[in-house]
Structure 1
Amino acid sequence: MREIKSRGKRADNGEWSYGDLIQLLGKQGNGRMFIVDNRFGACIDSDGSFVNTEAPFVNEVDPETVGQSTGLIDNKGREIFESDQLWATGNLTDDLHYVGTVVWDEDDARFEVKSIHGRFEYVPSDVVVKGTVWDDEELGGEGADTE
């Protein structure tokens, strides 16, 4: 089975959080989303009905910033996530040029890259993540390269 990993900006400090996504529904949950750092195990009690949102490895995130890992890796060995901005060298120079932003295509159930020239029906290889649509600066931890 493949790992499904999510990322979102923490509601309390704006830093990126990586792990499993949990969305609380119903009156009490109100659509709130949490990322659980999956290195520390589950945060649901034994009957599966309670999420311990106070645990230090559970971070409430801004739902707008939540994205899933594509399962692909960029040229620098970093995971590529939905909303990442991808750059690649041009045909004529070694300078990096903007390729596009990773998006989920609901109709075709796949990740694609949206650019000013349209959409690529795949995420191209030989790319570098240089930020996200949510953050123009470097990503914390696993983030983008400014070189």
Structure 2
Amino acid sequence: MRPIEFKAQNVNGVWVCGNFSILKKKIGNVDAGSYISNSAGEPFAYKVRPETVSQFTGLKDKSGKKIFEGDIVKVTGDEDCEFTSIVEYFGEGDYPAFDMTAPEDYYFESNKFSEILMSISYELEVIGNIHENPELLEVATC
């Protein structure tokens, strides 16, 4: 089973990782809002910007870097063809999964994200995320 982990930007713009929780009302001296805490749940919890919360896919790129929802990845294939895409969560019905889009020239039978990661013909590398680097999403080059 994959570890459940989240990352998000705290209110100062620093990325933090750990457990994610939402407080719907103030509890003691803690305001309502979205929080990420360390894996033990204490003693630190960081208030985060909810729009930046990203779930860990359970997978790593070619360099061993954890891949999170919202990450922008560069896919390099045979013959120096490459494209970039955003990793997204698709929770449709009984098939919750992380996936990504690929240019129409690329054919994948089902989940592009997992097929690319399992293939010996492609390499996948995290190069940024949609919140800080949207300009990294570009067209394919071959």
Under a length normalisation based on structure 2, what TM-score does the superposition of the two structures give?
A: 0.72
2:32, 2:86 → 1: CA distance? 26
CA distance in 2, matches of 1:115, 1:24: 37
User: Aligned match of 1:103 in 67, 73, 88?
Assistant: 88
Question: Contact 1:32 / 1:60 at 8 angstroms: preserved in 2?
Answer: yes
Q: Residue 131 of structure 1 corresponds to which residue in structure 2?
A: 128
Note the alpha carbon deviations across 1:14-55, whole angstroms, 9 max, x for none.
011001101112x437861111121xx233xxxxxxxxxxx5
How far apart are the structure 2 equivalents of 1:73 and 1:132? 15
Structure 2 Cα separation of the partners of residues 122 and 34 of structure 1:
31
Q: Report the residue type matching 2:111 in the other structure.
A: E
Q: 1 or 2 for the larger relative contact order (CA 8 Å, sep ≥6)?
A: 2
Query: CA offset at residue 127 of structure 1?
Result: 0.2
**Aligned 1:1-147 pairs, distance under 5 A:** 1-11=1-11, 13-25=12-24, 27-28=25-26, 32-38=33-39, 41-43=40-42, 55=43, 57-93=44-80, 97-107=82-92, 108-115=95-102, 117=104, 121-123=111-113, 124-125=116-117, 126-136=123-133
CA deviations 1:90-146 (Å, max 9, x no partner) are 4322x7x33311001121311111345499624221200000000129xxxxxxxxx
Q: 1:134 to 1:116 in 2, by over 3 A?
A: farther
3-state DSSP of counterpart to 2:89: strand
Change (3 A) 1:115 1:122: closer
| RMSD, aligned CA | 2.6
SS at match of 1:28: coil
* Letter aligned with residue 105 of structure 1: F
Q: Report deviation, 1:67.
A: 0.7
Q: Distance in 2 between matches of 1:116 and 1:16?
A: 30
Decide which structure has greater helix share.
Answer: 2
- Unaligned runs of 5+ residues in structure 2 are 118-122, 135-142
Provide the rounded CA distance (Å) in 1 between the counterparts of 2:56 and 2:38: 14
TM-score (norm 1): 0.70
